[in-house]
């Protein structure tokens, strides 16, 4: 008895799909990180548009959204080319800074969901603390001698 060609071709197709199924599943099963969101605000709960977030081992700084003050991601890229994927149970450290504000180091334990980290940065209070900007003198900034040839004061 002669078998039809179509069922044989379909069975070969299904065999090929099921044989490659685990390989495709392994590729698609790369570790998927959970979303971590940080919102950087001042003490009045206003977003700080110039804030940056950085992992201590990372070379890149991540800018926050200038309107919301938020940054979010599921992983970071390390200088050696590896990925640091955020997984539940992981404890991670971030450095949050902005011009005119004190830098904060945040230690956060990642959960399965609802990973929203509010960060409040305190402004630098140079004038109130009596700290003045340093005066840097260069070689050409020598004080004038009395009786010099410059304009009269």
Average pLDDT, the chain: 77
User: Do residues 68 and 98 touch, judged by C-beta distance below 8 A?
Assistant: no
Q: Is the pLDDT of residue 142 over 70?
A: no
pLDDT digits (tens, 9 = 90+) for 34-92: 999 999 999 999 999 999 999 988 878 999 999 999 999 998 888 888 888 999 999 99
The helix/strand/coil state of 18 is helix
Rounded Cα distance between 67 and 39, Å, is 11
Domains, the chain, in order of start with CATH, read 36-120 (2.60.40.1120)
Q: b/e per residue, 92-125, with b = 16+ CB within 10 A?
A: bebebbbeebeeeeeebebeeeebebebebeeee
Q: Token pair of 103, please?
A: 């830098």
**Three-class DSSP labels, 30-57:** CCCCCCEEEEEECCCCCECCCCEEECCC
Q: Report, in this order, helix, strand and coil percent for the chain, each rounded to 5.
A: 15, 25, 55
User: Do residues 78 and 84 touch, judged by C-beta distance below 8 A?
Assistant: yes
Contacts of 150 (CB under 8 A, 6+ apart): 144
pLDDT given at position 99: 92
Q: Which residues pair with 70 in a beta bridge?
A: 39
Lowest mean pLDDT, pick from 29-33, 69-73, 104-108, 130-134: 130-134
pLDDT given at position 26: 37
């Amino acid at each position: 008895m002669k078998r039809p060609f179509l069922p044989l071709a379909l069975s070969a197709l299904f065999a090929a799909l099921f044989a490659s199924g685990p390989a495709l599943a392994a590729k698609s099963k790369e570790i998927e990180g959970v979303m971590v969101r940080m919102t950087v605000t001042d003490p009045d709960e206003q977003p700080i548009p110039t804030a940056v977030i950085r992992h201590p081992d990372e070379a890149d700084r991540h800018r926050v959204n200038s309107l919301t003050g938020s940054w979010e991601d599921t992983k970071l890229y390390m200088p050696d080319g590896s990925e640091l994927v955020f997984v539940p149970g992981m404890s991670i450290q971030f450095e949050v800074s902005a011009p005119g504000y004190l830098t904060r180091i945040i230690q956060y334990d990642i959960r399965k969901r609802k990973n929203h980290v509010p960060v409040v940065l305190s402004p630098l209070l140079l004038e109130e603390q009596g700290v003045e900007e340093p005066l840097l003198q260069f070689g050409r900034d020598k004080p004038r001698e009395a009786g010099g040839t410059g304009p009269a004061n």
